[in-house]
Structure 1
Amino acid sequence: MEFNTWLTFLAAAVAISLSPGPGAIAAMGAGLNHGFRRGQVIAFGLLMGVWTQTLVVGFGLGMLLTTSELAFSVVKWVGALYLVWLGVQQWRAPARPLVTEAPAEAAPDAHLARTLFLRGWTVNALNPKGTVFLIAVLPQFVDASRPLLAQYATIGATFGVVEMVVMSGYVALAARVLGLLRQPRQILWMNRTFGSLFVAAGALLATFKRAA
């Protein structure tokens, strides 16, 4: 991949990652509820979700979603319902303030880490809109006359690093800024706000149509 081509893809990856979406909502929700150190695990899950999408497209399996109405609909509705479920869980989350300074909270416990990781992976991996987008965008940055494996590895590494940095920033933003909220009523409304955003993201995903 030419350096100028890589720079263009880097700019596109930054724009894609920064744009508000289910990943950003999930990252901020984790930061709000668990603080930065505990909530940061979700960024690794989101990263793996991006790599899953890249592998799917890289191996050509993503074409199934653009050619099969049934496969596309199944993935779309599973992803949409999952986001709505996350919204309901966030809405019902207890209104307790963050505790991020205590030594015991320095590292997430295994169960929480596993839950956040799987949540992050699922949010990004079960997003057919992301797969269709990659199918539309990646060919513009791939030179078919050169080895494809190295190019996809470069694209995956670049996209992954950008996603990790941006999502970690969202986690930190929620933990540092929203973490200043201490009153139960404030936290309750923040949980309901993020819950509503999850439901809205699920509803928008449900309206996404397969390209003709």
Structure 2
Amino acid sequence: MTLEVWLTYLIAGIVLSVSPGAGAVNTMSNGMSYGFKYSLISILGLQLGLALQFVLVGIGLGAIVAQSALAFSIIKWAGVAYLIYLGIMKFRQRGAFDLNAHNEPKVPPFTLFAKAVLVNVTNPKSIVFLVALLPQFINPQAPQALQFTILGLTSVGVDLLVMLGYALLATQLAVFIRSEKHMRFQNRVFGGMFIGAGSLLAVATPK
């Protein structure tokens, strides 16, 4: 893999990560609700979900999903249902935002981590995107495992940095969420965004 090829992939990865999606919504929601420290847990979960997607694509499942309408539909509707579920739960959540950084979150850290993993794993559009994108950057004449590892680490690294940026932005905005009224408004905004992401998945079709 040449430097030019890697830089091209890097640019594509940055554009994909910066574009608002379910992962960004999840990160900002957790950043505003629980603070930067605990949002890191969800960010790590997102990266595990992304890494799992790379593994799935690497062993051929991504190609199956891209070619099979049934497989795509099963994963798509699982993602739709989960995102809408997150949206409804967030929409119904009540309570004022506590600015005390030393307070424990109202959900266990593992729950934040697991939810973030599922947000990425149940996003079939990302799998189809990887299936369409990765072959363009793989040299069939060179060891493919090494190339795939480089591209995977690049994507995870880029997404990690972008999500950290989203989390920092969210924690800065959190100072404006001091009352139950504001918190209820924030929960409904992010709940609506989760439901919107699920609705977009519902109309997604394999390319």
Class of the TM-score when normalised by the shorter of the 2 chains:
over 0.9
Task: Indicate conservation of the 8 Å contact 1:32/1:98, yes or no.
Answer: no
1:75 correspondence with 2:71: no
CA distance in 2 between partners of 1:15 and 1:67 (Å): 26
Alignment of 1:71-110 (within 5 A): 71-102=71-102, 104-105=103-104
**Structure 1: 5+ residue runs without aligned partners?**
none
1:185 corresponds to which of 181, 186, 190:
181
- Amino acid of the structure 2 residue aligned with 1:21: G
1:196 correspondence with 2:192: yes
Shift of 1:100: 4.3
Over residues 182-211 of structure 1, what are the superposed CA-to-partner deviations in whole Å (9 max), with x where a residue is unaligned?
A: 122111101100000000110110100122
Partner of 1:139: 135
CA distance in 2 between partners of 1:95 and 1:12 (Å): 40
Partner of 1:166: 162
Name which of structure 1's ranges 25-34 and 173-182 shifts more when overlaid on structure 2: 173-182
SS in structure 2 opposite 1:177? helix
CA distance in 1 between partners of 2:101 and 2:44 (Å): 22
Partner of 1:34: 34
Task: Indicate conservation of the 8 Å contact 2:96/2:181, yes or no.
Answer: no
Q: Using the aligned pairs only, state the percent identity.
A: 38
Shift of 1:92: 1.2
Over residues 149-202 of structure 1, what are the superposed CA-to-partner deviations in whole Å (9 max), with x where a residue is unaligned?
A: 110110111100111111121122112213432122111101100000000110
1:119 corresponds to which of 115, 121, 131:
115
Shift of 1:77: 0.2
Aligned residues: 207
Give runs of ≥4 in structure 1 deviating > 6 Å. none
CA distance in 2 between partners of 1:100 and 1:140 (Å): 48
Give TM-score, length-normalised by structure 1. 0.93
- Amino acid of the structure 2 residue aligned with 1:197: M
CA RMSD of aligned residues (A): 1.5
- Amino acid of the structure 1 residue aligned with 2:133: V
Give TM-score, length-normalised by structure 2. 0.95
SS in structure 2 opposite 1:40? helix
